[in-house]
Amino acid sequence: MSTTLNNCRALDAHDPLRGLRDQFVLPEGVIYLDGNSLGVLPKTAAARVADVITREWGQDLIRAWNSAGWFHLPRRLGDKIAPLVGAGAGELVATDSTSVNLYKVLSAALSIAAEDTPGKKTVVSERSNFPTDLYIAEGLCRERGYRLQLVETDGIAAALNGDAAVLMLTHVNYRTGAMHDMAALTDAAHQAACLAVWDLAHSAGAVPVDLRGAQADFAVGCGYKYLNGGPGAPAFVWVNPRHADRFQQPLSGWWGHAAPFEFTPGYRPAPGITRYLCGTQPILSLAALECGLDVFCAAQSLGGMAALRAKSLALTDLFIELVEQHCAGHGLALVTPREHAQRGSQVCLSRGEGAYAIVQALIKRGVIGDFRAGDGAGHADILRFGFTPLYTGFEDVWHAVGHLKQVLQTGEWKTAEFNQKNTVT
């Protein structure tokens, strides 16, 4: 039997997580399916940042580093992120950007590899990995005398043989929503005497992650997607405790010093994860990120990541079902895996013509997804829809597919208005 609007409303009515939606600012008339690019605004964030500005900064001034606990924010927020990714307390810090953090951990991984397996000179990654990760790896390989080997998804395990020193992967692929088996691939890397570096940008806060259980070596992730920390929010970095004190990361700024306020001329790295900090932290941005993380604390009493994952899969299943029921014959092809174990929290559809314009027409109607261009290696343009279980409802999915059907049937996407490329797609 086909799913109806009433079915979707019933699913919302019985959703144990439905109250979390009230903790976010969702503009009237907007169906937001782009939380995998930028999460929405937590209702507490504006007042919290204003308080940091007017009271903590305005009244306490420099005293706020102590009185308001500014100095400890990276560690405090790190401990709030840790349960979402299977890390322990004191093992993770919120700091810098994902790209900068990747530079830190990949540098450390190459240093460990140079000591433990000096004959291995290759970093292996997926050809469809997020480009900034590949750019960082390319630069480091050039500096260190390593080779970056890019392979297709089904060739990852085979590429670990020979001189592979580090495997660097994104857990959920940004273009397709396909999710790797972190434990299996990390184990394959370790069996080949290879270190495993994971980017959690498209999984932290949306799918269960168990870094410790998988015995991963290093991980980084994003604060402004599913964690709802705001545009450019600080990212996070995790290092397996067995590696944390082996090497200092290359950006040896004063916040990563063992005693930053001794102001000694020589660098002495702090113990553990603290050495992965660098310069003075962005306090306003960290305050906003904490508001996003506090919603996950509220979700913990409602089943935590397991409940969020169950809803994510139900939302994406429904979207796939409705697209196939109502949009057949319009050239859309499902790119995201149907298998739950291989799917992140997004659904991607390819189309040979007009993908960008279709997304723009949907945005004009208030259904916000995004577009990703083909990669020039045979992969088509993508219409990408993210499903954040904290605030996306089942009725949202119904209406989003209804708008997609109308855009395709009427051909409104063909108008010039929707075919003018914006800078950000």
Mean pLDDT over residues 113-136, rounded? 96
Catalytic one of 75, 175, 225, 365: 225
Mean pLDDT over residues 265-280, rounded? 95
Mean pLDDT over residues 99-122, rounded? 97
Report whether 119 contacts 240 (CB < 8 A). Answer: no
* DSSP assigned state of 145: T
Q: Which of 38, 41, 5, 11 is CA-nearest to residue 23?
A: 41
Distance of CA 211 to the CA centre of its chain: 15
- Give the integer Cα–Cα distance in Å for 294 and 342: 28
CB-count exposure of residue 12 (10 Å: 0-12, 13-18, 19+): middle
Q: How confident is the model at residue 216 (pLDDT cuts 50, 70, 90)?
A: very high
Residues contacting residue 349 through CB under 8 Å, at least 6 positions apart: 323, 332, 333, 334, 335, 382, 383, 385
Q: What is the 3-state secondary structure (H, E, C) of 322-377?
A: HHHHHCCCCCCEECCCCCHHHECCEEEEECCCCHHHHHHHHHHCCEECEEECCCCC
104 given a catalytic annotation: no
Report whether 343 contacts 179 (CB < 8 A). Answer: yes
* DSSP assigned state of 39: P
Catalytic one of 224, 226, 236, 319: 224
pLDDT score of 37 more than 90: yes
Distance of CA 99 to the CA centre of its chain: 12
Three-state SS at 49: helix
CA distances from 237 to 74, 152, 219, 268 (A): 10, 26, 6, 20
- Kind and range of the H or E element at 277? none
224 given a catalytic annotation: yes
Catalytic one of 34, 133, 199, 396: 199
Between 423 and 337, residue with greater pLDDT: 337
384 given a catalytic annotation: yes
pLDDT digits (tens, 9 = 90+) for 343-393: 999 999 999 889 999 999 999 999 999 999 886 666 789 999 999 999 999
CA distances from 130 to 13, 147, 177, 343 (A): 37, 18, 12, 17
Amino acid 374: pLDDT: 83
pTM: 0.96
Q: Which of 301, 391, 378 is CA-nearest to residue 335?
A: 378
CB atoms within 10 A of CB 13: 10
Amino acid 378: pLDDT: 62
Three-state SS at 201: coil
Tell me the two tokens of residue 60.
């306490």
Between 161 and 394, residue with greater pLDDT: 394
Q: How confident is the model at residue 248 (pLDDT cuts 50, 70, 90)?
A: confident
Domains of the chain (ranges plus CATH)?
Answer: 5-32+304-419 (3.90.1150.10), 50-297 (3.40.640.10)
Catalytic one of 24, 75, 384, 391: 384
CA angle centred on 82, ends 231 and 283, rounded to 5°: 40
